[in-house]
Amino acid sequence: MDTPRRVEHQQTDRGYIPVYATGVIEQPWASYSATDHGVWAQLFRRQREILPGRACREFLDNVERIGLGADAIPKFDDLNRVLRRATGWELVGVEGLLPDHVFFDHLAHRRFPVTWWIRKPEQLDYIAEPDLFHDLFGHVPLLMNPVFADYMQAYGRGGMKAHGIDADALMNLTRLYWYTVEFGLIRTGEGLRIYGSGIVSSKGESIYCLESDAPNRLGFDLERVMRTRYKIDTYQQTYFVIDGFEQLFEATRPDFAPIYAKLKTLPAYPAGEVLPGDRVYHRGTGEGWVRSGDV
């Protein structure tokens, strides 16, 4: 993209960094400490250890192909050379979560915002907001996959559209993102596998989502997913399983405007509920569930 205009400097605990109108900042790579690189190395090694046999092949292969390794926090510029050639996507550095419409605009232009800072050593297992490890390790490998790459751009465009409708439409679309991009499972010839970024960047949930009896594992259905509330501070109570990225892309191709209008008149479902029409891969025991706090 064109280099955006530098609009201000923002003070952070790492000093002043330039911030652009689109929220984009240059990755201040030289400012990462040895501790930061160490956190990356630990998280990377840990996930590389447990993800084979759990994450889908498209994810694992692309971790290799884009050149992620344990030695240091990757430079966005290095990854971008590979990514641009593969699918035309690029990473842009950001300070953290962006306003919805700014985030959608980036995706619609095949730019993926990546938080530039990494969590602290005491946050290896849980961090409430997305950091570099989640955004980069979790999201970027699948942007190397052509079908998934197109889905993400279509999602960005759909987001711009939903933003122009109303808050309910945005909520429906956000649930779709949550249960696919962030917490999706995929059915393969070898069994269920993970593709959701919120799972692959978490050691605990990478194991829980596939091996625990507690959560439901249900077949993906667009309107069902758009009506399902979710948990933001515990592991998910329900995971939705797609048959492939093509299925996801095709199921989301239709115009959502009439779907949003229809869903306005219908109630949402609690995160842990199994419905009569669901294709049930596993009915969760509900063990350890907190019944409140769905969003």
Q: Which residues are annotated as a binding site for Fe cation?
A: 134, 139, 182
Q: Footprint of ligand PHE on residues 81-140 (CB under 6 A)?
A: none
CA-closest candidate to residue 267, choices 234, 294, 233, 237: 294
Residue type at 53 in one-letter notation: G
Site string for ligand PHE, 197-236 (x = CB under 6 A): ----------------------------------------
Q: By CB under 6 A, is residue 71 in contact with ligand PHE?
A: no
Q: Which does 242 bind (CB under 5 to 8 A by kind): Fe ion, ligand PHE, none?
A: none
Instruction: Give the angle subtended at the CA of 129 by the CAs of 268 and 178, to the nearest 5°.
Output: 30
Is residue 282 within 8 Å of residue 219, measured between CB atoms? no
Determine which residue in the list 84, 253, 279, 283 makes contact with ligand PHE, applying CB under 6 A: 253
Q: By CB under 6 A, is residue 40 in contact with ligand PHE?
A: no
Sheet containing 111-115, strands listed edge to edge, beginning at the edge strand earlier in sequence: 24-25, 90-94, 111-115
Question: To the nearest whole angstrom, how small is the minimum distance from the Cβ of residue 138 to Fe ion?
Answer: 6
Length of the chain: 295
Determine which residue in the list 256, 263, 272, 284 makes contact with ligand PHE, applying CB under 6 A: 256
Q: In angstroms, how far is the first alpha carbon of the chain from the final one?
A: 35
Q: Which two tokens stand for residue 65?
A: 């192909």
Whole-angstrom distance, CA of residue 37 vs CA of residue 33: 6
Q: Would you say 96 or 219 has its CB closer to ligand PHE?
A: 219
Q: By CB under 6 A, is residue 158 in contact with ligand PHE?
A: yes
Q: Footprint of Fe ion on residues 181-200 (CB under 5 A)?
A: 197
Q: Which residues bind Fe ion (CB under 5 A)?
A: 197
